[in-house]
Structure 1
Amino acid sequence: MHLRNAPFFHDIAEGPQAHAWWLEAQDGVRIRMAYWQGENVRGTVFLFPGRTEYIEKYGRSAAEFAARGFAQISIDWRGQGLSDRLIADHRSGYVSAFSDYQLDVSAVLEAAKHKSFPQPWYLVAHSMGGAIGLRAIIEGLPVSATVFSGPMFGIEMTALLRPAAWALSWLSQKTRQGHRYAPGSTSETYVLDAPFEGNTLTADPDMYSYMRRQLKHYPVLALGGPSLHWLHEALKECRDLRRMVSPDLPCITFLGDNERIVDAEAIHNRMQRWPDGKLEIIHGGEHEVLMELPDRRTKLFDQCALFFEQCK
């Protein structure tokens, strides 16, 4: 396997030294992957980011894991970050089929094997990455344990809005309008458009500034709202995942008690039927529990490290 060097914006990541590569998925889509390794490594974390996210956003988490003895891999999913954008409007969140994200997972897994990244391997999956990660472990991703952070096991909507979302996103497929933005979203990136006060991501002003600073310096990383096509694919994937049995794998899911982006009820439902799973509620937490206030963040990363050590 030939890995070609890819750019990595060290100046905004605020993490350990990283190396990035271009990978090619089976369907020819080019994606970007990065790897951080500290000293005395005792395992590797596969960090699956959410929709709109990019590798550099997890520089600080790489520092947290490195301080606890773990290397970290992360990825720009197709359609975001520096990976190939899939339609003419590069700000529109889009994927042809939700299952295509598994091609990205396969490419990263092949690269990890090729580079012999330290084992055991663990999964930490946030938001949309949680849906991708859940399917990946059900299909045999070789990790010893998994941690979910505000996973997208469902999308937060009112009971009245949900059937409308299904109908509108389905109609967009039939009328070739799937590239258009879902109602209520635009090409603007959330953290640059919304003030810190009242934001749905984090209670930590420093972390919010960190996210804003990254996208102001490198707007090429930015992504706007989801397309109608992405919404339809995501709704279908969440529906299909709900029907699947939880895998036989140790799991902790962290959920902020002020979650407003993904469906908290779907998370509770999943964890109630996960035999070796535990749900941890982060009091005062928003969607980005990995990027919460420092005291919450320290406890969370400490808990992850202890959990991984117990599951190796």
Structure 2
Amino acid sequence: MLARLLLIGMCLFMNIAIAAPELTTESELSDLGGPGLNAYWQRQAERGQFSSHDGLTLPYAKLFNSQHQKSIILVNGRTETFLKYQELARDLFNNGYNVYLYDHRGQGLAPRLLDDPQIGYVADFDDYVQDLEQFVQQVVLQEPVEGLYLLSHSMGGTISALWLSQTQVRLQAAALSSPMMGIYHKPLPRWLVNGLLTVFDSGCRWLGHTACYAPGQADYQDLEFKDNVLTQSEVRYQLFRDLYQQQPQVQLGGVSVHWLKQALLAGDQAIKQASRITIPLLVLQAANDVVVDNTAQNAFCRALAHCDGGQPRVIKKASHELFIEQDRQRRPALEAVLSFFEQHP
């Protein structure tokens, strides 16, 4: 540990370049394709299950090598599955990290919570937070680890921030990519949004439903690349869309009114509790994000005691999905993450 710190310090002092991380390029990914990624995944990934705090059985995967001394907990976003992160997991593993991934309740390969499996729903956002705690305790901490890190995306950032503000688990550092501290929307007063969601949610329950789609939401749609707002990388977009077609059980539609209400409250809470997070934290912000609210990320960073650089690290011209973006956005995002983790051994 001390030797690594001294090495980094010497390289910086002597202006010696530290080797760039090994990251898959779009060209390599085109050659590798879904079958190549899947073959790697089948060789390296171990899959299992763990128990939630309220009795659900949730799926996980890990890429583990006993020679690796560092581990990353990877927390994905809404509608996602750990299968979508095969390229990222491969890159992290090839750079010396053990990688631990799991699927949130109500999505991916995890049990759905409603009779209609397409509606995005959670009873309480704290359920997600407690699931993360159980995953770490039951799976991640069962293996010896010298350095433990966390990397999250979007909704996973909200969950991770809330978890980091209350867990007793000690991590070296964490990075949140496009964290959902607020949701991008037309500028309506928050009191009006809250009021409308309460009315819609109550109306849904009055009609006898556990949950109803929020206005404008619908079942899963396989959007063409030109219509997507997630990424500018056609090859990466098509790979994950192919995955969702080949494994339709992971498909998820839009959010319910109840989920949306819970998500907004969770973002507010994450900002309010940010000062309780004691570890170094990097926030990555996609400059052209139209999925989550970047101003809420700025507020979260201001509330943190240890926000790297004092504000989010902006990835220029990037869309929401930094880990499946074009190389020119994905590489600087991941280089920032891995460099940040190296600075906190």
**What is the DSSP-based 3-state SS (H/G/I as helix, E as strand, rest coil) of the residue aligned with 1:90?**
coil
Distance 2:35 2:59 in 1: 15
Distance 2:293 2:129 in 1: 22
Q: 2:316 aligns with which of 269, 272, 283?
A: 283
Cα displacement (A) at 1:28: 0.7
Q: CA offsets, 1:211-233, max 9 Å, x none?
A: 11100100001111001111111
1:253 and 2:283 aligned: yes
Cα displacement (A) at 1:306: 2.0
Q: Give the aligned partner of residue 256 of structure 2.
A: 227
1:183 and 2:211 aligned: no
Pair 1:257–1:15, CA change in 2 (3 A): farther
Q: Give the aligned partner of residue 142 of structure 1.
A: 170
Q: Give the aligned partner of residue 266 of structure 2.
A: 237
| Maintained 8 Å contact 2:73/2:150 | yes
Q: CA offsets, 1:86-143, max 9 Å, x none?
A: 1101011011111111221122112235531533110111100001000110012422
Q: CA offsets, 1:261-293, max 9 Å, x none?
A: 111000011112323213211111000011111
Cα displacement (A) at 1:39: 7.2
Q: Extract structure 1 runs of 4+ deviating beyond 6 A.
A: 9-12
Superposition map of 1:108-147 within 5 A: 108-113=135-140, 115-140=142-167, 141-147=169-175
Superposition map of 1:63-142 within 5 A: 63-113=90-140, 115-140=142-167, 141-142=169-170
Quick one: which amino acid aligns to residue 72 of structure 1? Answer: V
Q: 1:297 aligns with which of 330, 337, 340?
A: 330
Count of aligned positions = 301
Q: Give the aligned partner of residue 247 of structure 2.
A: 218
Quick one: which amino acid aligns to residue 181 of structure 1? Answer: Y
| Maintained 8 Å contact 2:315/2:332 | no
Overall identity of the aligned pairs, in %: 28
Q: Give the aligned partner of residue 10 of structure 2.
A: none
Instruction: Answer 1 or 2: which has greater helix percent.
Output: 2
Cα displacement (A) at 1:10: 8.3
Distance 1:15 1:128 in 2: 27
Cα displacement (A) at 1:295: 3.4
| Maintained 8 Å contact 2:153/2:176 | yes
Distance 1:82 1:294 in 2: 28
Distance 2:268 2:188 in 1: 17
Moved more, 68-77 or 140-149: 140-149
Q: Give the aligned partner of residue 23 of structure 2.
A: none
Quick one: which amino acid aligns to residue 297 of structure 1? Answer: R
| Maintained 8 Å contact 1:12/1:213 | no
CA radius of gyration, larger in: 2
Moved more, 125-134 or 197-206: 197-206
Pair 1:232–1:11, CA change in 2 (3 A): farther
Distance 2:40 2:215 in 1: 36
| Maintained 8 Å contact 1:77/1:101 | yes
Structure 2 unpaired stretches of 5+: 1-33
| Maintained 8 Å contact 1:251/1:276 | yes
Cα displacement (A) at 1:161: 7.0
Structure 1 unpaired stretches of 5+: 1-8
Cα displacement (A) at 1:242: 2.5
Structure 1 vs Structure 2 CA RMSD: 2.1
Q: Give the aligned partner of residue 264 of structure 1.
A: 294
Distance 1:275 1:103 in 2: 24
